[in-house]
């Protein structure tokens, strides 16, 4: 009888080894898939935050132009004579919210899946976005209040320099986040401010 059990035991042992090997392979594949999905989600979060922060910089410029062109006595007359529609604060608030919501969603995603190195950079990026909006939309100090009501907004060189400094801070912080994103994705780190200069002869 003992001779009969030998092939049975061998078959069972082989089946168990095969089962363990299959389980191990499936576990390894699942972990690899999970890791790849997490890395993809992380890269997407970084890319979205980089994109949305740049859009906020353009939004700040739009708001600055609006303050300049839609202020002063002429603007008041145009609105009074119904040549232009009066600016609606609620509409402006809705636009700001619509532009800022994707930024905050991307920031929150970095908090969820971002690395320890990326999170403080993302936090700085949000701060610079707020600073740019503030610098671009501050009231102009180049003219007295009474004159500003007639001729419109005008900013001092110091105010404009402050705005440009905030733009440079944003650009540098975006560069830092871009480098971290490339490093964590295993992509060669490059000079993100590089450009091809064409020589004209």
Pick the range with the lowest mean pLDDT from 122-126, 132-136, 138-142.
138-142
* CA distances for 137 relative to 69, 79, 108, angstroms: 13, 21, 26
DSSP codes, 167-190: HHHHHHHHHHHHHHHHHHTTPPP-
So what's the pLDDT on residue 84? 65
Q: Say what the pTM is.
A: 0.74
Residue 5's contacts (CB-CB under 8 Å, 6 or more residues apart) are none
Residue 164's contacts (CB-CB under 8 Å, 6 or more residues apart) are none
CA 99 to chain centre: 11
Between 86 and 1, the more confident residue is 86
So what's the pLDDT on residue 104? 95
**Cα–Cα distance between 158 and 143 in angstroms, integer?**
13
CB 50 within 8 A of CB 107: no
Q: Is the pLDDT of residue 162 over 70?
A: yes
**Cα–Cα distance between 180 and 91 in angstroms, integer?**
37
pLDDT in tens, 84-94: 676 677 787 88
CB 153 within 8 A of CB 140: yes
Whose tokens are 């908090």? That residue is 111
Query: Smallest Cα–Cα separation from 151: which of 54, 62, 71, 89?
Result: 71
Q: Is the pLDDT of residue 198 over 60?
A: no
Q: Is the pLDDT of residue 100 over 80?
A: yes
Pick the range with the lowest mean pLDDT from 70-74, 88-92, 158-162.
70-74
**Cα–Cα distance between 123 and 117 in angstroms, integer?**
11
pLDDT in tens, 12-62: 566 666 665 665 655 556 566 777 778 899 999 999 999 999 999 999 999
Between 166 and 5, the more confident residue is 166
**Cα–Cα distance between 155 and 138 in angstroms, integer?**
9
**Cα–Cα distance between 84 and 91 in angstroms, integer?**
15
CB 176 within 8 A of CB 42: no
Average predicted confidence (pLDDT) for the chain:
81
Largest pairwise CA distance in the chain? 112
So what's the pLDDT on residue 201? 46
CB 151 within 8 A of CB 72: yes
Pick the range with the lowest mean pLDDT from 62-76, 132-146, 161-175.
62-76
Give the mean pLDDT of 149-172.
89
């Amino acid at each position: 009888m003992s001779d009969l059990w030998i092939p049975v035991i061998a078959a069972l042992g082989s089946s168990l080894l095969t089962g363990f090997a299959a389980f191990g392979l499936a576990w390894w594949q699942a972990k690899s898939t999970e890791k790849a999905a997490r890395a993809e989600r992380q890269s997407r979060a970084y890319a979205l935050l980089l994109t949305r922060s740049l859009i906020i910089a353009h939004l700040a410029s739009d708001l600055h132009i609006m303050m300049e062109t839609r202020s002063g006595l002429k603007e008041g007359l145009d609105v009074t004579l119904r040549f232009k529609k009066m600016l609606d604060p609620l509409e402006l608030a809705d636009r700001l919210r619509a532009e800022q919501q994707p930024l905050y969603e991307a920031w929150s995603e970095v908090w969820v899946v971002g690395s320890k190195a990326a999170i403080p950079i993302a936090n700085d990026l949000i701060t610079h976005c707020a600073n740019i909006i503030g610098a671009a939309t501050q009231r102009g100090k180049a003219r007295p209040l009474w004159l500003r009501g007639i001729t419109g907004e005008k900013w001092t060189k110091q105010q404009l320099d402050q705005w440009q400094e905030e733009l440079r801070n944003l650009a540098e912080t975006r560069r830092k986040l871009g480098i971290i994103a490339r490093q964590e994705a295993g992509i060669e780190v490059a000079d993100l401010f590089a450009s091809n200069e064409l020589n004209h002869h």
